[in-house]
Amino acid sequence: MSLQSAFERYLPLIEAELRQALATPPPPLAPFYGMVRYHLGWVDEGFSPIEAQGGKRLRPLLCLLACEAAGGDPKQALPAAAAVELVHNFSLVHDDIEDASPFRRHRPAVWKVWGVPQAINVGDGLFALAHLALQGLAEQGVSASRALAAFEVFDRACLALTEGQYLDLSFEERLDVTVEEYLQMIRGKTATLFAASAHLGALVASDDPELIAHYHSFGENLGLAFQIVDDILGIWGEESVTGKPVADDIRQKKKSLPIIYALRQKAKGQGLGEIYSKDVLTDEDVRRAMAILDEVGARQYTERLARDYHRRALAELEATGLENEAQADLRGLAAFLIERAY
């Protein structure tokens, strides 16, 4: 089964599980659930059905593949797959508010359409729906002990997610952020949900703690590589592919890994720090910042680190001692995430 085949096989099941989590509400609440559906890419601003970009669904796919690779029935893991996707979207709705990002997936963000108070409520609703979705494990025949363990994994991931977001926000006014601090931040903000996705899938399939730990570590390293690649695309990605202008992260003065690395270089870092100290960056500021990144080899450094975490992820898969089609698909997913252009 190729990775594309896995997408085709599992994405309809994931979508069906997500839609079941948002069953038709009573009329007074239809607009609330309409806003949730809008964020998920199912309806337009008037709540009419459309087919918009609703995200890659990488985390739920990872959950189902890990379950299958570990010897389980992936359909039993569907509630966990839906839960990680819903809580991921909770974080995106709140992240857009906190970053004042007006767009999400090439459409106006929820807060931009309906205001910050309603967007906060939509995010909170997604958080609650994620927990309700996870309760479906019992209906799928997952034992009470494993379901209880799944909730602990999930809640710890939710907490780590918010801790990572706190660190990210705290970096905004600092020019002295270290690479180690950055990695701690993305381990919480991004990698923890990848880790939880793989962990939950393996947990549904197996009660072998060592095996589950390998899938957890696979997901965590994959998540770190994913975020680092995102940082590369945020500066050097092609606008026609990413939908964002080249160097958009610089214009927004984001403290992504290439910037943090460059700021730590003594001679050139000071110049970049002066640029980032400005309230608003001009096109010339952006050009100068890009030149500094090139001079210090920031892209090459960042690419090396992404490849290193990719290798670590594959080593964790190898350590499971398993070999099957789903395991091969997990390798394919890892390759896709490290090589992607969007």
What pLDDT score was predicted for residue 2? 73
Rounded Cα distance, 257 and 70, in Å: 33
User: Is residue 198 within 8 Å of 218, Cβ to Cβ?
Assistant: yes
What stretches of the chain show up as alpha helix (H) in DSSP?
3-21, 30-40, 58-69, 78-99, 110-114, 116-134, 136-139, 144-170, 179-186, 192-205, 209-236, 239-242, 248-251, 257-263, 266-276, 283-296, 298-319, 325-339
Number of CB atoms found within 10 A of residue 112's CB:
17
In the numeric block, the tokens 């991931």 are attached to 157
pLDDT per position in the chain (342 positions), as tens?
Answer: 478 899 999 999 999 999 999 987 889 999 999 999 999 999 999 999 998 777 889 999 999 999 999 999 999 999 999 999 999 999 999 999 999 999 998 899 999 999 999 999 999 999 999 999 999 999 999 999 999 999 999 999 999 999 999 999 999 889 999 999 999 999 999 999 999 999 999 999 999 999 999 999 999 999 999 999 999 999 999 877 776 788 989 998 999 999 999 999 988 899 999 999 999 999 999 999 999 999 999 999 999 999 999 999 999 999 999 999 999 999 999 999 999 878
3-class DSSP state of 298 = helix
Cα-Cα-Cα-Cα dihedral sign, residues 277, 282, 284, 286: positive
User: Is residue 58 within 8 Å of 75, Cβ to Cβ?
Assistant: no
Number of CB atoms found within 10 A of residue 278's CB:
10
Which domains, from first to last, does the chain contain? 3-339 (1.10.600.10)
Rounded Cα distance, 145 and 115, in Å: 41
Rounded Cα distance, 112 and 99, in Å: 12
User: Is residue 96 within 8 Å of 126, Cβ to Cβ?
Assistant: no
Rounded Cα distance, 224 and 309, in Å: 7
Find how far residue 107's CA is from the centre of its chain.
Answer: 18
- pTM of the predicted model, to two decimals? 0.96
What pLDDT score was predicted for residue 131? 98
Strand partners, 103: 108
> Shortest CA distance to 258 belongs to which of 267, 266, 269?
269
